[in-house]
Chain A
């Protein structure tokens, strides 16, 4: 536990003494702010047109602007995570391997699992820090919008984005532990996430066992329910098992360094 905390502290220090964390968080916030702005303008315009129609034809359904904005916004956040998580995780092991500091960690009285968990929680904390300002914004919106969208929808959306982000970070850490090159780690992570995103492409049409399996593997498919405010246990289990698998594979990969290093 202490060892894990020591690794966690060091990783957090590393993110914040170097410009890495600030740049990633700033890029994320600028992009999300821009998308939020455009989304809001678009949806307000649509609701305006809808209300015009309802005056003319009557009986148009009421337009829930806050919910629509939130749902679309979190769709965009998931796309941004595809690009940003490889950058968050690419250095976690690759850099330590290249610099030889892995030798310090691996000859210290900490287990491989403590090293891996310390690093995972540090990158996860950075994800939380990155998302936190957007949550403030939404809390403000929900507080002032009339009628307000239910708070638990916002909660489920954040739960979804954290689970998705956690899964992608676990995957990225694993790829980083396999190489000494940050670039290779980032490329492999990006490719793998992209593949997991499009793996269900075209499988809706067919209904074979293979297509439903591919369907299930798509990391973003499980995310949709969360953005609608639905917390489905199967989705929870999917992400949690994805994270556990990623951490397990990383531990194996770290352990394997002992056996192959010449």
Chain B
């Protein structure tokens, strides 16, 4: 449904998007994950035809976003970072305007507007002026605006910003329910959002793609082996050396814990190896009091940090 190939966008000296390529299949939800300023918004703006790319191509439903911009725009519903609302309009007048400008035929207009309001749960505010609405309602009107013409592709730039926790859950449910009949790209810097809603994740940093995969695969793949945390009372170097000898252990690092002679050791095992019982046996066998031993599951957050910081280290080493 969406094919992006070698997309690059430079603003003067600064390259906001650097040779980004990905494909989104019909009915899929793709999450764009990255720190602020990573190039998420720019990529989305190129897809919606708001910005032209410096080089590379992007196609939506087979149409090039630059050469067939109008065809692409007919098929896209877009919620920018700041919802594009006319403060002096009522909610229903605003949605009517958007329906008209998005070419919704007159006979469907009313039904489409009601449907969008129902999905975003704003029917009770339909006669309110937009400027009188709370931040959360404004965000939902923005979301309704992106749905009103029943587009094939929906692009949402940080759709849950400004919502309270209950509304965030509602919006996530809404997005999930839209998948299948719609192809969705959403961006966020909130990690749980991605693992909860998206079929696939693009981790983007400094304009480059750091990883593309399903949230589950990303977690297992990048986690590599099991991580184990051991706290014992002993000499730090001795413990590390002892554990390093064990088969299946890839990496060991230790640091003083608390200051009363305890050492915390983080052990990274080879993929598919469970080293916990061996570590316990070893530590106890050496006569060191064992205080704690547990598996640490790497969250998407850790992966994200790992990927994005590795990338910046790489970039700075290249610069040096």
| Chain A contact residues, CB within 8 Å of chain B | 2-3, 5-7, 9-10, 13-14, 17-18, 99-111, 258-259, 261-262
Contacts and interface: CB of A to CB of B under 8 A. Distances in A.
B84 A103 contact: yes
Nearest 8 CB-CB pairings of A with B: A104-B84, A6-B100, A6-B101, A107-B48, A101-B84, A109-B74, A109-B73, A108-B101
B52 A99 contact: no
A101 B101 CA distance: 13
B307 interface: no
B82 interface: yes
Interface stretch (B86-94, B225-233, B278-286, B309-317): B86-94
B49 interface: yes
A14 B84 CA distance: 15
From DSSP, what is the main secondary structure of chain A's interface residues? helix
B74 to A, nearest CB: 4
Interface string B65-81: 00000100110101010
Given A14-B88, A109-B74, A110-B101, 12 more contacts: A5-B100, A9-B97, A13-B93, A99-B84, A99-B86, A103-B45, A103-B84, A104-B80, A106-B49, A107-B73, A111-B70, A261-B50
Interface residues of B, number: 29
Contacts of A102: 84
B191 interface: no
B86 A10 contact: yes
Interface of B: 11, 16, 45, 48-52, 70, 73-74, 76, 78, 80, 82, 84-89, 93, 97-98, 100-103, 145
Contacts of B100: 2, 5-6, 9
Given A100-B80, A259-B52, A109 B103 contact: yes
A6 B100 CA distance: 6
A258 B51 contact: yes
A10 B88 CA distance: 11
B97 A108 contact: no
Contacts of A105: 101
Nearest to B106: A2
Contacts of B101: 3, 6-7, 10, 104-105, 108-110
Contacts of A18: 88
Contacts of A14: 86, 88-89
A17 B98 CA distance: 18
Contacts of A104: 78, 80, 84, 98, 101, 145
Contacts of A259: 52
A100 to B, nearest CB: 5
5 contacts: A2-B103, A14-B89, A99-B84, A100-B84, A258-B52
Contacts of A2: 100, 103
A13 B100 CA distance: 14
Contacts of B82: 100
Contact of A109 (B11, B89, B102, B145): B102
Contacts of B76: 107
